């Protein structure tokens, strides 16, 4: 049975859908969608996207496009969506902004002096979700009958500083504030910033292996050794539960562990 926020014929757009949390959202949520709904999966890895597409529900249509979101323009993103769907055919649109990278972990903030490195990180992790979100809203904006849901996959790092994670923490904070402002400006759009907790993904492994701060690196190693991390299935099931409950203000940061 579809959750209320996913009822009706839905267009579901997911970035970073070639692996990890993005893939699991595609697989899990596709099973909740009304027959005839459609998924559009975006990421750089075409092979990863194919694997994700093979795992989603056969009751929905699925399309995917290999794209580097850090360099794609608004016009290019609009064209990708227009080639995939006719916005007038859907009752609901849900955009899941999951794309993200952890960034350089060997440097502390005083050493982060390369403008190009800053721009490269923010292009992918902050600017591309903001621009893509605008593109999606504009494509569906003329039809007031279409319900809109926006999900920003965030992190505890957006509100809690962690040593040697200056790029990641600042990027997550900036991205989350953008979606808070968007929610204030668009009360007709349901917005959630979901913090998935420590999930066993390539990103978690990278922090455990490469974090410049020894204490942080050790804490991640210990967590993985003790199997305290979450699976993608666990966090996505909790995500669906939070969406179903809707016991939060639109635009809020909600963590996997929050009791709401």
Give 54: exposed, middle or buried? Use CB within 10 Å, 0-12, 13-18, 19+. Answer: exposed
220 located within any domain: no
Residue 217 tokens read as 């690196």
What pLDDT is attached to residue 4? 79
What pLDDT is attached to residue 2? 47
Q: Are 28 and 237 in contact (CB under 8 A)?
A: yes
133 located within any domain: yes
CA distance 212 to 221: 13
**pTM score of the predicted model:** 0.95
Count of domains observed in the chain: 1
209 located within any domain: no
Say which DSSP state 166 is in: H
CA distance 254 to 59: 30
Is residue 191 classed as helix, strand or coil in its secondary structure?
strand
CA distance 66 to 45: 6
219 located within any domain: no
CATH of the domain at 238: 3.40.50.720
Range of the domain at 99: 4-200+232-255
CA distance 188 to 185: 9
User: pLDDT averaged over consecutive 10-residue blocks of the chain (260 residues)?
Assistant: 76 98 98 96 98 98 98 98 94 97 95 97 98 97 86 98 97 98 97 96 92 94 94 98 94 94
212 located within any domain: no
Point out which residues pair with 13 in neighbouring strands. Answer: 40, 95
Crossing angle for the helix pair 232-245 and 20-30, nearest 10 degrees? 50
168 located within any domain: yes
What pLDDT is attached to residue 169? 98
28 located within any domain: yes
Nearest 5°: phi and psi at 254? -125, 125
What pLDDT is attached to residue 1? 40
211 located within any domain: no
Q: Are 171 and 229 in contact (CB under 8 A)?
A: no
CA distance 13 to 15: 7
């Amino acid at each position: 049975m579809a959750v209320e926020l996913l009822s009706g014929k839905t267009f579901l757009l997911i970035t970073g859908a070639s692996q990890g949390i993005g893939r699991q959202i595609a697989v899990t949520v596709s099973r909740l969608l009304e027959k005839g709904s459609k998924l559009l999966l975006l990421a750089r890895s075409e092979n990863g996207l194919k694997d994700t597409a093979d795992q989603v529900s056969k009751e929905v249509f699925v399309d995917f496009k290999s794209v580097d979101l850090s360099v794609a323009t608004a016009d290019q993103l609009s064209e990708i969506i227009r080639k995939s769907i006719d916005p007038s055919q859907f009752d609901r649109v849900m955009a899941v902004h999951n794309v993200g990278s952890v960034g350089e972990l060997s440097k502390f903030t005083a050493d982060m002096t390369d403008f190009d490195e800053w721009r490269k990180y923010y292009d992918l992790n902050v600017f591309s979700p903001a621009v893509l979100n605008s593109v999606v809203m504009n494509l569906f904006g003329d039809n007031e009958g279409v319900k809109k849901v926006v999900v920003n996959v965030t992190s505890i790092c957006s509100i809690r500083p962690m040593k040697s994670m200056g790029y990641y923490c600042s990027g997550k904070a900036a991205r989350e504030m953008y979606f808070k402002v968007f929610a204030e400006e668009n009360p007709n759009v349901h917005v959630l910033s979901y913090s998935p907790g420590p999930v066993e993904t390539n990103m978690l492994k990278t922090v455990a292996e490469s974090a410049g701060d020894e204490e942080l690196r050790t804490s991640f190693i210990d967590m993985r050794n003790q199997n305290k991390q979450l699976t993608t299935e666990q966090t996505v099931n909790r995500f669906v539960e939070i969406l179903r409950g809707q016991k939060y203000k639109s635009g809020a940061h909600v963590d996997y562990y929050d009791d709401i």
